[in-house]
A and B are shown apart, each in its own frame.
Chain A
C-alpha cells in the first residue's frame, strides 16, 4: 500500500509501534518506586522526543544525503515557532493553520538563506548558515522585539484579537491550543496496578505527524532525487563534469529540511504556546547536529533515536539531585553511602552535560555509525554471523 520495499516496511512498522506505544515503553517502572525517576512517559517529554525526532529527520535529509553540514537549522525551528504563536494570537487556537503557516514561512526563509549559503560548500557553507542563524537569533532577541517580544519570548495574552476564536475563556483564562475542539493538553490516565500511563492528545498528534514525516523522508531516500543528493555527497566535482548542475538539488534538499524544522517549531508552539529567541541560538543548531551524528547520520531511524537520547538526558538526568541519590543508596553504611553519592554527584543534576558528553565521545569513538551501528552489531552478534544475506540491506553511511 505504501509502495515500500520489505526492509523499509519493517522499519516503518517499528517506528509506528514505538510511537504508538511510547506511553507504555517509556514508563517501565511503577509510579512511586525508586526507579520511577527514570520514567520518561509523561506528555511533555514524549512530545519533545517526537518533535525533535521530526527536526532531526529533516536535518538528516540535508546532512545525511548531501553531506552539507548546516549549523543554522535552529533558525528555521524558531521561525516556525514564532509563526505558529502569531497564528494563535491573531487567528484562532486551532493548531492546523498555525502548523501550516510555520511550514510555509520557514520554507520561504530556508529558500532565502539556502540561496545565499549554497554558493559555497564544506566549511564555508557551515559558517554561512551559522552566521545567518546567529543573525536571526540576535534580531529576535532584541531588534525585532515588537514581533518576537525579545528575551521574554512571545506568549499569548488575554487581549489578543483571535479573529476566529475568543480572546479569553468564560472564566477569564487564556484559551488553550486545540485540534477542532480536542485540547492538545488533554491527557487520559490509565492506571494498571502500580503503573500510571498517560495518553496525551498532543503527543498523538505529534506522533502521527512524525510518522508522516518519516514516511516522506523514507520515500525521499529511496527516490531518484535522493540518489542525486547522494551523488552530490560522494563527488560533486564529478557530478559537475557529467553536465549536471547540483545546485537545484541541494537547494531543494535545504528547503525541504528547513520546512521539516519549521514543522517541528510549529508543533512545539502548538503543544506549548510560547516562542523564545534561544530556540534559534547556535547551541540549539549544534544540538540537532549532535542528535543526527549520535543516532547515525545518513540512516533513516538514527536521527529519531539520537533526538530521544539527548532529550532523555537533558530532562531526566538533570533532575536527579543529591537527596535522591541518598535515598537510593540508603541501604549502604553511612560512610560508603556518602562516598558513592560523592562519586556520582558530578554526573547528575547540573552535571548532565558531562554525562552526555562522555557518552557522545564513546559513541563517536566506538560506534562511528551512531546508535544504529550499535544496533546492527548487536543484531549480527545475536544471529552469530550465519545470516550473510544481511549484506543486501542498506548500509549505514557515516557522513564525512
Chain B
C-alpha cells in the first residue's frame, strides 16, 4: 500500500475545482453565462474555413484555402495588407479582429452536405470557431448555413451561385458575397442581344439539381424577355461524363443557341462534346450556331482548353480587372503563391475581410451585432466597385462581369477577357422576386 497524500487542503482544493466545474453552465442551454456561442475570451479568435479538399471541387477549395490564409495574414498585420488598404471602411488596423489575433481551423467538406456539417460542427463544438465560412457548391452552402443558424454563429458563404442560398433557403446568420443565377441572366441578356440578336431559339442542357434549375430558370426568363424562344430544356444527370447523346438531338431541334447550365467537370465535358459535334460551325435558321455558358470560372476554362474561345458567360470577378482593389489583391496573392487568384479565392477573401470589418464596427463578435453591422452595409474597394449588402436577404449587390473565352491567350491563366461590366442596378431585383420567394430570414440567433 503506497502512502496516501490526502491532505485537508488538497481535498478542499479539488472539491472547489470539481464544484466549479459542475456548476459551469453548458454551451447550448439558455442558462449560459456567455452572451453568445463561442464568445472568445482569450487573446485569440478562431475562424472556421470549411472547404472541399477532396471531391469534384477540390481545385476551387484549394484556391479558397490559399485566399483564407492570405486574409488571416493580412488581418494579423502580415504581408502587404492586400485589399485592406483599398477597402473603403478603415476600421481594420492589422492587429487582428478587435485586438485579438486571428487563428483558423480548416476542414474538408468533401462537397457533401453531411460531411460539411460534421466538419462545421466540430469547428463549433471542439475548436470554438465564432464564424464559419466556405463551401464550393450551393447544396453544401445551404446545409452549413442552416447549421450555423441553429448553432448561433455567423456563416459567410463562399462559392455558391444558386438563387436559393439567399432566396428560399436564406437565413439570418448567413451572408453571401458571390453573385447568383438571376444576376448572371440579367447581366448576360443585353450582351447576348447585342451579339446574337433578338430572334433566337435556345436549347438548354441543365445539370439536374437545384443550382442547375435555378440558373436555367433565370437564364430562360431573361432571354425570353428579349424575345428569344426556348425550344427545349433537357436535364442531364450530375454524374454524366459523356454528353454526346444529349448533344445529338440539339442539331435536329431547330435551335440556334445552346445554353450549358453546367459547372466544373460537367461543363468541361459537355462543351467539349458540343464542339466535337461541330455545333459551332453549323448554320441554323440562317444564323451561326452559338454556345453560352452562363457561369464561368477560370479553372473551368482551363479544363475546356481551346473549346472556350469566343464563348460568352458571366463571372463574379476576374484577376485582369484594373481597379485598385483587384490590383492589390492580385499582387499580394501572386507574390505569395506565384499565380493569380480565381474568383473563388476572391470572394472568400472579401468575405473574411467583411466579417472582420463588421466585428470591428460592431465592437463585438456577437452574431447579432455582426449581422446588424453587415446589413445594409455599403462599401467599395474590394474589386467589384460599389457594393451593397442588402438587409432583406443578406445578398451582395455589385457589378457583374460578362466574359468571353479569349481568342489568343497569352498564358495558362489568361483565358477569359472581360466583355462588359454590367452595373449593379441592372442586376438588382426586388427581395420578393418570385425566383427568390418562399423563405424567411427568421431572426438572428446568437446561440447560447
Binding site for B on A (CB under 8 A): 39, 42-45, 48, 138, 141-142, 145, 149-153, 155-159, 168, 171-174, 176, 183, 185-193, 198, 272, 274, 276, 278-279, 314-315, 318-319, 321, 323, 349-350, 352-353
Contacts and interface: CB of A to CB of B under 8 A. Distances in A.
A152 B122 contact: no
A138 B237 contact: yes
B165 to A, nearest CB: 9
A191 B20 CA distance: 8
B117 interface: yes
B26 A186 contact: yes
Nearest to B32: A189
A229 to B, nearest CB: 31
A192 B122 contact: no
B139 A276 contact: yes
Given A276-B113, A276-B143, A319-B106, 15 more contacts: A145-B210, A172-B442, A174-B149, A183-B29, A186-B26, A186-B29, A187-B28, A189-B25, A198-B27, A274-B113, A278-B112, A318-B53, A319-B105, A319-B119, A353-B54
Nearest to B51: A350
B105 A158 contact: no
Contacts of B150: 173-174, 176, 185
A168 B442 contact: yes
Contact of A150 (B107, B118, B137, B209): B209
Interface of B: 17-18, 20-22, 24-29, 53-54, 58, 69, 104-108, 112-115, 117-119, 121-122, 125-126, 137-139, 142-143, 146-147, 149-150, 162, 164, 169, 208-211, 235, 237-238, 439-440, 442-443, 445
A185 B28 contact: yes
A321 B115 CA distance: 17
A349 B58 CA distance: 12
Contacts of B27: 187, 189, 198
Contacts of A191: 20-21, 24
Which 5 A/B pairs are nearest by Cβ-Cβ distance? A350-B53, A172-B443, A151-B209, A276-B113, A44-B121
B114 A279 contact: yes
Nearest to A186: B29
Contacts of A152: 113, 138-139, 142-143, 162, 164, 169, 209-210
Contacts of B164: 152
A347 B348 CA distance: 26
A145 to B, nearest CB: 8
A25 B294 CA distance: 52
Contacts of B209: 141-142, 150-152
Contacts of B138: 151-152
B21 A190 contact: yes
Contact of A142 (B112, B125, B142, B235): B235
A318 B117 contact: no
27 contacts: A39-B126, A42-B122, A43-B125, A44-B118, A141-B209, A142-B209, A142-B237, A151-B138, A152-B138, A152-B143, A152-B169, A155-B146, A158-B440, A168-B442, A171-B443, A174-B442, A187-B26, A187-B28, A189-B27, A190-B24, A274-B113, A274-B114, A274-B143, A319-B108, A350-B53, A350-B54, A350-B108
B107 A189 contact: no
B143 A189 contact: no
B143 A155 contact: yes
A274 B139 CA distance: 12
Contacts of A168: 442
Contacts of B439: 157
Contact of B125 (A158, A193, A198): A198
Given A190-B21, A315-B119, A44 B125 contact: yes
Contacts of A315: 118-119, 122
Contact of A173 (B118, B211, B442): B442
Given A151-B211, A318-B53, A276 B142 contact: no
Nearest to A145: B210
A192 B19 CA distance: 9
A145 B143 CA distance: 16
A188 B26 contact: yes
Nearest to A172: B443
Contacts of B126: 39, 42, 45
A186 B373 CA distance: 29
A342 to B, nearest CB: 17
Contacts of B54: 350, 353
Contacts of A156: 146
Nearest to A36: B126
A128 B62 CA distance: 37
Contacts of B237: 138, 142
A31 to B, nearest CB: 9
Contact of A151 (B29, B122, B139): B139
Given A152-B143, A319-B105, A142 B53 contact: no
Contact of A318 (B25, B26, B119, B210): B119
A276 B146 contact: no
A157 B442 CA distance: 10
A189 B24 CA distance: 7
Nearest to A173: B445
A305 to B, nearest CB: 20
Contacts of B442: 158, 168, 172-174
A192 B17 contact: yes
Nearest to B111: A278
Nearest to B21: A191
B114 A350 contact: no
A151 B210 contact: yes
A155 to B, nearest CB: 5
A315 B107 CA distance: 8
A204 B287 CA distance: 68
A285 to B, nearest CB: 14
A276 B114 contact: yes
Nearest to A199: B26
B120 to A, nearest CB: 9
Given A150-B210, A272-B117, A318 B24 contact: no
